[in-house]
């Protein structure tokens, strides 16, 4: 089973934090994270520093990591862009994989980007084409795909309409993001199944929040539906600051522990992830939502490393 792990702790994980984490501390965390065996690490988002101060050093983080040769072969660095100005910044500092998306909720879209769903869709597609033409990998997403804290349930037809628009534009790496944490396993399988019918060759990704405790169950449902790229966050840190109830992400080490218990991704250093989660918790001065960094792994499934 070809499962890709995409950790978003340094972006989605930190964007809600009130205390700004110093750049040298972030760099230390990133250097540890890229050596755990995860496939993609999201370094930050290219947003206005006044709106999300925690992301003000994203450009600098990319430049320092790339110039120092700190990233092992086979590990990709990703960044989130919301608009053309953010795209300019991302292209200038050599981001390998650009993530961008449209919310299926009008309310969330306006709070998050200041644009309607329709306007955001047109701009994101144009940005994706520009990034792809410049030789970058591009992943486009539908945010609030399973529900919205402001609007409630989001019809599947609304999500599929956005996905069809992506496919018509030639964009086939698609992520569904459960921004409000409203997804349930049955709906996850159903919606990803419908997308698979639209384009069996699409590369599918998922991004779940564990707001109501269904994150890991939803990830397993997504895998069953053919999703191969899983977004997660060390310690379960994070949440969207522009949704009504911000819940943390699916925890990377908890997810890896589950997968390894099932014989999947034994190459990932679970010990490295748990020690990093502990370091982040210590720096922030509180417990994180993740479990395995506190409980430890089931002993027989804890990989040994020299």
Which positions are catalytic?
Answer: 240
For 279, the token pair is 């370091």
**Buried b / exposed e along 184-218 (16+ C-beta atoms within 10 A):** bbebbbebbeebeeeeeebebbbbbbbbeebbbeb
CA–CA separation, 264 vs 244, rounded Å? 35
CA–CA separation, 305 vs 291, rounded Å? 21
CA–CA separation, 129 vs 224, rounded Å? 30
DSSP 3-state of 74: coil
Q: Beta strands of the chain (E only): which ranges?
A: 4-7, 40-46, 76-81, 97-103, 137-143, 173-178, 203-208, 229-232
Element (H, E) at 139: strand 137-143
DSSP 3-state of 240: coil
């Amino acid at each position: 089973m070809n499962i890709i792990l995409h950790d978003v702790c340094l972006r989605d994980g930190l964007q809600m934090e009130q205390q700004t984490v110093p750049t040298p501390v972030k760099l230390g965390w990133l250097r540890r994270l890229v050596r755990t065996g995860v496939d993609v690490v999201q370094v930050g988002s290219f947003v206005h520093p006044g709106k999300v101060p925690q992301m003000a050093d994203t450009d600098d983080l990319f430049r320092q990591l790339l110039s120092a040769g700190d990233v092992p072969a086979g590990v990709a660095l990703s960044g989130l862009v919301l608009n053309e100005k953010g795209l300019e910044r991302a292209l200038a500092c050599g981001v390998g994989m650009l993530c961008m998306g449209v919310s299926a909720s009008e309310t969330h879209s306006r709070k998050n980007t200041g644009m309607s769903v329709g306007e955001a869709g047109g701009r994101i597609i144009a940005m994706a084409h520009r990034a792809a033409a410049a030789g970058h990998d591009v992943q486009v997403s539908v945010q609030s795909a399973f529900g919205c804290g402001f609007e409630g349930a989001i019809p599947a037809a609304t999500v599929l309409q956005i996905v069809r628009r992506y496919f018509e534009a030639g964009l086939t790496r698609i992520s569904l993001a459960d921004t409000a944490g409203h997804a349930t396993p049955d709906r996850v399988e159903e919606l990803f199944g419908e997308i698979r019918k639209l384009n069996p060759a699409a590369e599918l990704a998922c991004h779940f929040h564990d707001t109501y405790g269904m994150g890991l169950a939803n990830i397993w449902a997504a895998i069953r539906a053919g999703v191969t790229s899983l977004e997660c966050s060390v310690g379960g840190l994070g949440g969207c600051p522009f949704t009504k109830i911000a819940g943390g992400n699916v925890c990377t080490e908890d997810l890896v522990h589950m997968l390894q218990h099932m014989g999947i991704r034994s190459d990932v250093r679970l010990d490295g992830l748990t020690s990093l989660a502990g370091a982040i918790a210590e720096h922030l001065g509180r417990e994180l939502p993740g479990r395995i960094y506190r409980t430890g792994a089931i002993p027989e499934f804890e990989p040994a490393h020299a």
